[in-house]
Structure formats: structure tokens, C-alpha cells
A and B are shown apart, each in its own frame.
Chain A
Amino acid sequence: MIKTIISEGLPVDEQLLIRKKVIQNGTGPKRICIVTGTHGDELEGQFVCYELTRRLNENLRFLDGTVEVYPALNPLGVDSVTRGIPTFDLDMNRIFPGDKYGHLIEHTAYEIIQDLRGADMVIDIHASNIFLREMPQARINVQMSKKLIPYANLLNIDFIWIHDAATVLESTLAHSLNIIKTPTIVVEMGIGMRITRDYGNRLVDGILNMMRKMKMWSGPISKEISKPMLSTTGDVCFINADVSGIIIPSVSHSVDVKKGDLLCQIVDPFEGVILQNILSPVDGVVFTLRTYPVVYEGSLIARIFSKSACIEDL
């Protein structure tokens, strides 16, 4: 069953529609929600929604509870290759929890929160942006880590990043839900404007694995569930460009690197010269890697998870 949770008029012969697919079976009281498409250029979650729904439809007898799938919280953005909310130029993930009496966008955010409120788990799937590729990972606010890490461990991801509380992040969907005691895990994986089928399949395996532990799923699950690294057992190193130019990568994403390994070069195509050799400052795993070739000073090149502390200079 597809339910419409938002229907508001657009100027010419169209409604802004936000819809969810409700898949229910048995008498189990548990409800999980899969949400994605908050940023219109992040599409990895589209495959997850499709594949999870397909598997549940084909094996409905194993489900005992309710799974709700929200493939596009920002349908205007998804359908027009726009990261923010078209016409308002707003980042939708900075307006939660919204406002019951607010204008269209604030009211929409409020209604989304009300619809998700009370779920036993919400998985909020993101796909980085068009610049960076991310290893499948959960991002969890340190204040929620005790409750959420056990669930994130089930999701068949590679990394759990526990981040500090930042006031600006209080306006995200995940934070707004967590503070009303609706547990929500942000999953980041892949890259904007693309679908990485392998990552999508892995996360669907992970969601079913989590559902099994929640006693919502008695069907088959993958035998190869990844055990993620936890960021608190090491350090996350950020590597930014010192100069503007074009990057030529030297390593692949998700690989182990040694301190001093060449990650990429920033080059000047006019002069045919290398402007900067970017070396790994530590031994570790490249869990974020820039794929978009044009960089300015400061552009993020990579994030490396290391068991040792990050150092500023080699």
C-alpha cells in the first residue's frame, strides 16, 4: 500500500507529493522506516528501497511487523537533479523538526517527523555528494552512540563514525528523531548521482539482519555480515587540498594505505606540472575519497581511519 503523507499545491497543475510504501504482515508491533532522498542528488538509497521492497514482496510470509519505505523525502529535488529543495534553495536536512504552523517547507518537515515518530528504528540513507565516494558507514552522534551502535553493528557496513555533537546538526532529520526517542541511524555510502549496486545489496542484507534481531524477520539472511570498524578505536584523519587544480588519483577507494603512500596528485594541465603530491599521513583505511577531479584550496581529498593518531605534517 502506498500512502501519501504530504500533498500541497504547486503553482501550475501539480501537487507536491511525499509518499511512503507500507509493507505489513503478521501481528508483530515493530515498525521500521527506511528514508532517503532528502538530498535530491543522493540516489544510492533508491536501489535499497527497490531491493528491500522486492525481497519483502517476494517473501512476505517471513515478515512479522511493518516496514515503511520513503524513497523521496524531497521529490522535487530527486526528479530534477537538485540537491536542495528547488525554488527555495534550502538544504532539507537543515530544517527539521519543522514547524506545524510554518510555511510549506517547515510544515512538510514537521509532518515528516510526525509520520516517523514512534518507529522502532529509522534508517536515514545518504550518498555523500557528487564529489566524494564513501565506504558504507553509519554516522552516529556521540550522545546517541550507546543506544545505536548495537543496531549499526548489524547493518553489514564497514565503519561506524561516532561524531561530536554540533549545534548546527540539531536541525537534521536524524537528530530531530533521536531526541523524540525515535532511534535513527544515518547511513552514508557510495557517491552522489550514482547507484553502487554492491553497496545497496549489502545494506539490504544488513537491514534484514537487523530485522531478524528485532524479531521482525524470520526469512533467510546473508551469512556474510560485515563487522564494522568503530571510529572511537582510532582516529579520523582529514586530508584537504593545499592548492587548486585537477586531481589524478593514485589509490582506489576503501583500500589500506601506509603512511607516506601517494594518495593522489594535484596537477596543472596548462603547465604539465605536479602542484602537490598528497601523501597519506598515517597507516589506515581510505573510507572517503574524492572522485570529482576539479579541486580548490581546501577541497576535501580523503578521510582515513587510522588506529594511530593523525599528524599534521609528514
Chain B
Amino acid sequence: MKQEILFQMKSPYRDDFKIQGFRFGEGEKSVAIVGAMRGDEIQQQFTCSQVVKNLIELENEGKILPGHEILVIPSANHFSMNINKRFWAMDNTDINRMFPGYDKGETTQRIAAALFDEVRGFKYGIQLASFYMPGEFIPHVRMMDTGFQNVKLAKKFGLPYVLIRKPKPYDTAVLNYNWQVFDTQAFSIYSGDTDTINKESAKIAWFSILRFLNSMKIIDNKIHDGFNSCVLSDNELETIKSDQAGILYNLRGAKDEVKQGDLLAKILDPFTGAVRSEIYSPVDGTIFFAHDKPLIHQNTLMYKIVKF
């Protein structure tokens, strides 16, 4: 393993900002893995660190197969993580809205350009991603329907679900989309959490990455096959929104199987504790996403359910 500084920038008063890469093996540019690009993606950083730990062990055992190069970048934005900010510490811009970047542009455009310069040209690209809504997901692989996506490959992660969604205009500036445009098979792994570490779901995510690398014959690390992934599009999920605002009392969470009519949550009056609303499942299915903050706005996404 070679630990390299891929990008370095001076700050007026803070320590230098550095993006570090961990490079394994030599040969074809096989896989690039990117962890936290936002300051609150602690689960993603942790997951990526475990991938690095496992790859170091595999390399020591000679189990990284010849002819493959793997690049892991656990963090591209610790300047924000260290001060509890989600977006870039100085101007609050989002590095993951700056791809493919511009090396003569603004700071986060330059960071994105430097990062993309390192990760483009790999055969496969894996990003540990997060969602802008607070909540917990079933671990899944997410792909954009760009016409370049390869669902068969996505299933090799062995996660319960592969979700395909139509890109929106802002998606054209995210890493995953640009990877695909530049001929890299790109996958976003959602492991469930963002600003807290959930070791169980993180383990599912890093095992899925090792499973994929094994399946692609990049490493020799036999682990169980995982799930026969169910492939979904976003519009196949049943969406439940809050009809009231208040304190959210969740009774069911992500991964739970539910029956039509099951009580999923209550929304309580924050002054009297009276029940303002009871949220029932409209279908039989599995909860794919569950809002998990204690306060909820009206008309806000609470659950997404995969129908049986």
C-alpha cells in the first residue's frame, strides 16, 4: 500500500488541507473508492477506513490479485468534518456539486477537479454516499439512469436492493454522474446512516465492497454471496409523508417488514403530548427509508416502503 497526498492546499491559519489516497496493487486502474465528501459523512468515512484496513490485511496476505490497482480516498473534506460542518468550511459549497471540477475555478471546483483527475479512468468507481434528508436506509446500491448503468454489476455487491433513479439537473455535477460520463461504471453505496456510526450497517457496506472486488477478481477474499439484490426504480417505492408536524414517535424503522394497516409512527402535539396523527402502512412491504429525527415538519417524507 502506498499512502499518497493527492491534493494539498494551504489555509490562511489552519493546517494544510490534504486529500490522502491509499493505493493498492499495480496494473490496470480497476477500482477507485471515495468516502466522505461532506463533513457530516462520518459513517462513510468509517466505512472507508475499514475498507482500507481490510485491503492492507489482504495485501499482506498476497490476496490482491496481480494486474489491478485500487485507489481508496477515505476523505475529501475533513476541513468541514473537523468543525462539524456539512459543506466546505469557508463558503459552504458542496464538493459533490462541482464535478468534473475546474482547476482554475473556485476552491471547491479545484478540489473536485483534483479529485476527479485522480479517480477518472478507473474501470469501476464506488462512492459512499449520503442522503440530504435525515433518516435511515436499508443498505443499497444506487445508480443513475444515464443509459450507461450496468445493473448486473450492481447486483454483485450483494446488497438487498439496487435502486435506479432518473437524474435531476443538479445530478450532472455529482461524482457518480461524471464517472459514468467518463466511462467508469459508477456505484453509490448507501449504508444507512450519515452523522453517526452504525457499525452493523457499516459492516454490511464494507463487506459489499469486498464482495464486489472479489467477484470482479480484483482480490481473492471469499465471503458469502450476500443477497440476490432486488432491482427497483424510485417510483416503485410507496412514499408516506407527514400530514401533521410535531414530535415524531417512531414505532417502525428501516428494514422492518410491515403489513398493510400496521401502525408505523405517531406524531405528537409538542405541548400536550396528544396524538395528532397516526401513520399506518398503506401496503405490505419492507421499510426502505425511515425519517429518524425526533421532530418532523408537515408534508415531509417519513417512509419509503418496498411493496411486496
Judge whether B215 is part of the interface by a CB distance below 8 angstroms. Answer: no
Residue of A nearest to B168 (CB): A171
Q: Are A11 and B90 in contact (CB under 8 A)?
A: no
Q: Are A10 and B299 in contact (CB under 8 A)?
A: no
Q: Are A103 and B86 in contact (CB under 8 A)?
A: no
| Complex CA distance for A131 and B11, rounded to whole angstroms | 17
Known: A296-B107, A297-B110. A11 touches B10 (CB 8 A): no
Q: Are A16 and B297 in contact (CB under 8 A)?
A: yes
Within the complex, which residue of A12, A84, A103, A245 is in contact with B295, where a contact is CB–CB below 8 Å?
Answer: A12
Q: Count chain B CB atoms within 10 A of each CB in A88, A101, A167 and give the residue with the most.
A: A167
Q: Which residues of chain A in 135-187 are interfacial with respect to chain B, using CB atoms and an 8 Å cutoff?
A: 167-171
Judge whether A298 is part of the interface by a CB distance below 8 angstroms. Answer: yes
- Which residues of the other chain, A, contact B270 by a CB distance below 8 angstroms? 11-13
| Complex CA distance for A243 and B9, rounded to whole angstroms | 8
Please count the residue pairs between chain A and chain B whose beta carbons lie under 8 angstroms apart in the complex: 98
Q: Count chain A CB atoms within 10 A of each CB in B11, B12, B110, B301 and give the residue with the most.
A: B12
Q: Are A88 and B298 in contact (CB under 8 A)?
A: no
Q: Are B10 and A167 in contact (CB under 8 A)?
A: no
Judge whether A195 is part of the interface by a CB distance below 8 angstroms. Answer: no
| Complex CA distance for A295 and B106, rounded to whole angstroms | 10
Q: Are B297 and A244 in contact (CB under 8 A)?
A: no
Q: Are B12 and A298 in contact (CB under 8 A)?
A: no
- Which residues of the other chain, A, contact B97 by a CB distance below 8 angstroms? 94, 168
We find that the number of chain A residues with CB closer than 8 angstroms to chain B is 38
Judge whether A46 is part of the interface by a CB distance below 8 angstroms. Answer: no
Within the complex, which residue of A83, A168, A298 is in contact with B110, where a contact is CB–CB below 8 Å?
Answer: A298
Residue of B nearest to A241 (CB): B107
Q: Are B296 and A11 in contact (CB under 8 A)?
A: yes
Q: Are A90 and B299 in contact (CB under 8 A)?
A: no
Shortest A244–chain B CB gap in Å is: 5
Known: A296-B9, A297-B9. A89 touches B87 (CB 8 A): yes
Q: Are A168 and B90 in contact (CB under 8 A)?
A: no
Judge whether A30 is part of the interface by a CB distance below 8 angstroms. Answer: no
Judge whether B308 is part of the interface by a CB distance below 8 angstroms. Answer: no
Q: Are B106 and A244 in contact (CB under 8 A)?
A: no
Q: Are B110 and A104 in contact (CB under 8 A)?
A: no
Q: Are B169 and A11 in contact (CB under 8 A)?
A: no
- Which residues of the other chain, B, contact A13 by a CB distance below 8 angstroms? 270-271
Within the complex, which residue of B104, B133, B170, B247 is in contact with A11, where a contact is CB–CB below 8 Å?
Answer: B247
Q: Count chain A CB atoms within 10 A of each CB in B104, B245, B295 and give the residue with the most.
A: B245
Within the complex, which residue of A104, A238, A243, A300 is in contact with B10, where a contact is CB–CB below 8 Å?
Answer: A243
Interface membership of chain A positions 285-314, coded 1 if the CB is closer than 8 angstroms to chain B and 0 otherwise = 000000000111111100000000000000
Judge whether B92 is part of the interface by a CB distance below 8 angstroms. Answer: yes
Judge whether A280 is part of the interface by a CB distance below 8 angstroms. Answer: no
Known: A244-B12, A296-B107, A298-B109. A9 touches B298 (CB 8 A): yes
- Which residues of the other chain, B, contact A89 by a CB distance below 8 angstroms? 86-87, 132
Judge whether B158 is part of the interface by a CB distance below 8 angstroms. Answer: no
Within the complex, which residue of A90, A131, A169, A245 is in contact with B12, where a contact is CB–CB below 8 Å?
Answer: A245
Q: Are A103 and B110 in contact (CB under 8 A)?
A: no
Judge whether B61 is part of the interface by a CB distance below 8 angstroms. Answer: no
| Complex CA distance for A16 and B297, rounded to whole angstroms | 9
Judge whether B260 is part of the interface by a CB distance below 8 angstroms. Answer: no
Known contacts A84-B92, A168-B169, A298-B110; 15 further A-B pairs (Cβ under 8 A): A8-B297, A8-B299, A9-B297, A10-B298, A11-B246, A83-B92, A89-B132, A171-B169, A240-B104, A240-B105, A244-B11, A294-B12, A296-B9, A297-B107, A299-B91
Complex A-B: 28 CB contacts under 8 Å? A9-B245, A9-B246, A9-B299, A10-B297, A11-B270, A11-B297, A12-B295, A13-B270, A84-B92, A90-B132, A101-B239, A104-B298, A104-B300, A131-B91, A168-B170, A168-B172, A168-B173, A169-B169, A238-B105, A244-B11, A246-B12, A294-B12, A296-B11, A298-B109, A298-B110, A299-B90, A299-B91, A299-B106
Q: What is A's interface to B at a CB cutoff of 8 Å? A: 8-13, 16, 83-84, 87-90, 94, 101, 103-104, 107, 129, 131, 167-171, 238, 240, 243-246, 294-300
